[in-house]
Amino acid sequence: MTVTPARAAGAVLLALIALAPLVPMAGMKQYVLHVVIQIFVWSFIGQAWSLMGRFGLVSLGHGAFLGVGAYAVVLLWNFYGLTPWVGGAAAIALSVVVALVVAYPCSRFGIIGHYFALVTLAVGEVVRLLIIAERDWTGGSLGVTLKAASDASLVAMQYADKRVWYYAGLGLWLFGLWVWARLDRSMARAAMEAIGEDETAAACVGVRVTRFKLRITVLSAALTALGGIAYAQYITYVNPETLAGIGVSLRIVFAVVLGGMYSLLGPTVGTALTIALSEWLRIVFGVKFIGMAETIYGLLLVIFIIFLPAGIYGSLAALVRRRRPAPVPATA
Amino acid sequence: MIDPIFLVEAAVNGIMLGGVLALLALGLNLIFGVLDIVWIAYVDLVMVAMYAVYFLVMVYGWPIWLGGLGGVVVGVALGILVHLLIITPILDSPPVNQLLATGGLLFFLQSIATFLWSTDHKSVRVSLPSIELGGIFVSYPRLIAFVLSILVMVGLYLFLTRTFIGTAIRAVSQDRGAMALMGASPQKIYVVTSAVGGAMAGVAAALLSIQYSVHPYFGAAFGPITFMICVLGGLGNMVGAFIASFVMSEIIAIGGVVWSTEMGYVIAFALFIVMMFARPGGILAKRQ
Amino acid sequence: MSMLELRTVTAGYGQFTALWDVSLAVERGEAVAVVGPNGAGKTTLLRVISGVIPPRHGDLVFEGASLAGRPAHEVVAHGIAHVPEGRRLFPKLTVAENLKMGAFLPRARKAYRESLERVSALFPALAERQKQRAGSLSGGEQQMLAIGRALMSRPQLILFDEPSMGLAPVMVLRLFDLIRRVREEGYTMLIVEQNVRQVLKLVDRAYLLEVGRVRMEGRAAELSEQDFVRKAYVGL
């Protein structure tokens, strides 16, 4: 691996991120860590979404996987005292089942584009409404609080110290990047193979593409559920509006598209920007103008989508590429 | 065991609700069919028009029918504005961007409504009694809403089948390019379509105003079900959307009595998902 | 002055150039064919004229007005009707509604009744199937409807794009009879066609297009006598 300026900058940046919790920031520290943890977790979820999104599988129901993951792990702990390590595995398995139940017929019957988006939207709403309907268990629309463990422990996956969550979030984010990059490479290979084959083999390639899509959906759902679990364990409170349904599903998609879903760091850039934006707007407007922050957020989203269709990171990357005199050969 | 009379009452209420849902589904379907874009924020336009009706009637003291017409005008204006400001620049964008641009509008409308009018539920008070028919109570406003929505749908049907521009709207949904060869400016047809879609939203707003109170999240409550109906019925298929509206509203109404409102919606959505798999040909035939 | 004149038109899609410096003229009352092999740029030529794609260079003049780069719906308003490749009917609309759409232009809308009578007289088969959906018509009837729909706009010039494509051999002959009937009504027409033998019997003049350039032009009778054309296209 050669050392390029970009790689060196990346390494330095990563080191800075890793060391950030050690920097004294007085009273601001808890807040800053909180914001960054959120960025890590939601970027991870955004990366999980973009695995599908870049393939044209635009899901508007990723809240379903988030909700299934988060609620399963919280309820298993609250009612059965099951450690999140086991409960989490169960939650991920459950979300994979949900993904398969939806994705298999979708790919089997060729449901794509708007229809796929609307089917997934329905799935997200079903999960949200089921959570509300089963209020004896789930607390309905009021949500449910994760029962506190007797002390901070690895078994309960509960820590009051934000630094622990900071590093856990960092790990999760890096894991997401790794998955993204690996898949990107194998995807490139699959595409090359498809082009390499002659026309008579196209049918076989078609079958493989279908299976590949199915696998991607399962992977995306599992990772999204993992993100939901991490979020629930960190916040220790789950609520159907923040973790299921159309609202959160749209937010995930927004962040990714805003950043650019075809690039490695796109989801992160988009998520960081949207979270920073909404935090900033919240500070500026506080409780004085309820709804103002969200209004501006919505307006900016529309403007960004119209004027930066390739996303912020994607547009910038394209700009840099155009400026560069000699085209750098693709790594793939 | 539930008293059968409640079930019958629920079924009747379901039909009443179905009328208004059908208006929304037809409006959205029309736009979807012509522009090939889902207005995620469609029912949020209804919400804004409902606020308009509320303010015209309750604050400015307009008679209810005039306030309702005001709501329709607001709906038309919103439809045209959304088309010109948001849809026109993204006509050729990838579908995900189109979904998100109107999705961003949803956030915008929801939160600006919260900002301007708070999250309080606001209702247009119409003192009309319920009618009793053989032990079944039917609310008078609902009956009015149902009858009017049927009339408006008949009007829409006549517009789409009897007029040049209405026929052109149907033609564009079948072949965009060919309609340009007939001398129709696509942009003009799009604007008319969006205006008609907005008018449907406005009429629905007026009719919903007399039955429900309005709040910023009204669109979130009725939006998803409207998309489902729209797709379930089939693109450009007026009769299909019409029937789907009543099927869905019956499930919601009866499910609501037997279990809970949420379960009613869950069953309706689950049915939608199953139907998408069971009858994709009917729904997707045009696309492939 | 010619009714339609193309002056050194170059056009294409993206990086690809389909037409190179094509010049062509159609006089009032004339029937002109553009023939040539697949991929010669014939369809592109018609698309440029009807405004579906803009020319990159050159000019397009119709009745003294430059139409280069005008969108399709404005070109129709100038009096050019297009019978597109593959017919492009509105399959779910009825025959009557398809014809109605042909008369969408304000000018044509005023004369709707009269145009309908003319088309019905020309194509009685269509008049019998008014209420039937266009998608349920036979191939020949669909072509008839596509032509009828173009006539409804009261054009001065009709463009035909591969009208015989996809028709059974028997139907092809009947189709050319139909076009001949339209021709006898006095319409000016420009026909792009692969069936060179049939089309040369119908038109006054023809252009031979090859790989995006005009290879030959002349009177139809002369062109069909050329050894080269006979061997390559007429199949004699």
pLDDT tens per residue, range A117-153: 888 888 898 899 889 888 888 888 888 888 887 766 7
Q: Is B283 among the domain residues?
A: no
- Does the pLDDT of residue A1 top 60, yes or no? no
Put simply, the answer to whether C100 touches B184 (Cβ < 8 Å) is no
Q: Is A266 among the domain residues?
A: no
**Domains of chain B: total:** 1
Q: Is A111 among the domain residues?
A: yes
* Alpha-carbon span B100 to A310, nearest angstrom: 13
First to last CA, chain A: 14
Q: Is B285 among the domain residues?
A: no
Q: Is B56 among the domain residues?
A: yes
- Does the pLDDT of residue A156 top 80, yes or no? no
- Matching residue, tokens 């103002």: A292
Measured in angstroms, the CA of B159 and the nearest CA of chain C are apart by 13
Q: What is the pLDDT of residue A323?
A: 63
Residues ≥6 apart with Cβ < 8 Å to B156: B26, B196, B200, B238
User: Between C176 and B100, where is the model more confident?
Assistant: C176
Q: What is the pLDDT of residue A195?
A: 46
Give A295's contacts in chain B (Cβ within 8 Å): 108, 111-112, 114-115
Chains A and B touch (3+ CB pairs under 8 A): yes
Q: What is the pLDDT of residue A192?
A: 54
Instruction: Supply angle C-alpha C164, C168, C170, rounded to 5.
Output: 95
* Confidence tier at B241 by pLDDT (50, 70, 90): confident
Q: Which domain holds residue A71?
A: 27-244
Q: Is B224 among the domain residues?
A: yes
Q: Is B287 among the domain residues?
A: no
Nearest to C85 by CA among C194, C217, C223: C194
Q: What is the pLDDT of residue A46?
A: 95
DSSP reduced 3-state for A263: coil
Residues ≥6 apart with Cβ < 8 Å to B243: B233
Q: What is the pLDDT of residue B105?
A: 92
pLDDT (tens digit, 9 = 90+) per residue, C36-53?
888 888 989 999 998 989
* Confidence tier at B100 by pLDDT (50, 70, 90): confident
Q: Name the residue among B103, B114, B269 with its Cβ closest to that of A250.
A: B103
By C-alpha distance, the chain B residue nearest C154 is B182
pLDDT (tens digit, 9 = 90+) per residue, A58-93?
898 999 999 999 999 999 999 998 888 999 999 999
Put simply, the answer to whether B171 touches C97 (Cβ < 8 Å) is yes
* Alpha-carbon span C23 to C59, nearest angstrom: 9
Measured in angstroms, the CA of B140 and the nearest CA of chain A are apart by 30
- Does the pLDDT of residue A256 top 70, yes or no? yes
- Does the pLDDT of residue B77 top 90, yes or no? yes
* Alpha-carbon span C95 to B33, nearest angstrom: 21
By C-alpha distance, the chain C residue nearest B174 is C90
Put simply, the answer to whether B185 touches C88 (Cβ < 8 Å) is no
Q: Name the residue among B32, B95, B273 with its Cβ closest to that of A119.
A: B273
Q: Is B284 among the domain residues?
A: no
Q: What is the pLDDT of residue C235?
A: 56
pLDDT (tens digit, 9 = 90+) per residue, A9-24?
778 888 777 777 777 6
Residues ≥6 apart with Cβ < 8 Å to B262: A129, A130, A132, A133
Q: Is A267 among the domain residues?
A: no
Cβ of B277 under 8 Å from any chain C Cβ?
A: no
How far is the CA of B25 from the CAs of A305, B17, B175, in angstroms?
Answer: 26, 12, 22
First to last CA, chain C: 37
Q: Is A179 among the domain residues?
A: yes
Q: Is A289 among the domain residues?
A: no
Q: Which domain holds residue B17?
A: 4-278
Question: Across chain C, where does the E strand assignment appear?
Answer: 4-13, 16-26, 31-35, 57-62, 65-66, 80-83, 157-161, 188-193, 205-210, 213-219
Cβ of B183 under 8 Å from any chain C Cβ?
A: yes
Contact B27, B20 (CB under 8 A): no
* Alpha-carbon span A53 to B6, nearest angstrom: 46
Report helix angle A245-259 to A312-323, nearest 10: 10
**Domains of chain A: total:** 1
* Alpha-carbon span A263 to B169, nearest angstrom: 39
Q: Is A114 among the domain residues?
A: yes
Q: Is B132 among the domain residues?
A: yes
Q: What is the pLDDT of residue B99?
A: 83
Say which CATH number the domain at B192 has: 1.10.3470
Give A130's contacts in chain B (Cβ within 8 Å): 262, 266
Q: Is A44 among the domain residues?
A: yes
Put simply, the answer to whether B100 touches A253 (Cβ < 8 Å) is yes
Q: What is the pLDDT of residue B282?
A: 44
Measured in angstroms, the CA of A46 and the nearest CA of chain B are apart by 15
Pairing of strands C205-210, C213-219: antiparallel
pLDDT (tens digit, 9 = 90+) per residue, C122-172?
999 998 999 999 999 988 899 999 999 999 999 999 999 999 888 888 888
Put simply, the answer to whether B103 touches A102 (Cβ < 8 Å) is no
The whole-number average pLDDT for the span B279-286 is 49
Burial of C184 (0-12, 13-18, 19+ CB in 10 A): exposed
Which of B47, B98, B115, B274 is the best substitution to test chain A (most A C-beta atoms within 10 A)? Answer: B115
- Contacts by residues B222-225 (CB-CB < 8 Å, ≥ 24 positions apart): B222/B21, B222/B24, B222/B43, B222/B46, B223/A246, B223/B40, B223/B41, B223/B42, B223/B43, B223/B44, B223/B106, B224/A121, B224/A122, B224/A125, B224/A246, B224/B269, B225/B21, B225/B252, B225/B265, B225/B268, B225/B269
Q: Name the residue among A119, A125, A254 with its Cβ closest to that of B100.
A: A254
Which of C47, C85, C90, C100 is the best substitution to test chain B (most B C-beta atoms within 10 A)? Answer: C90
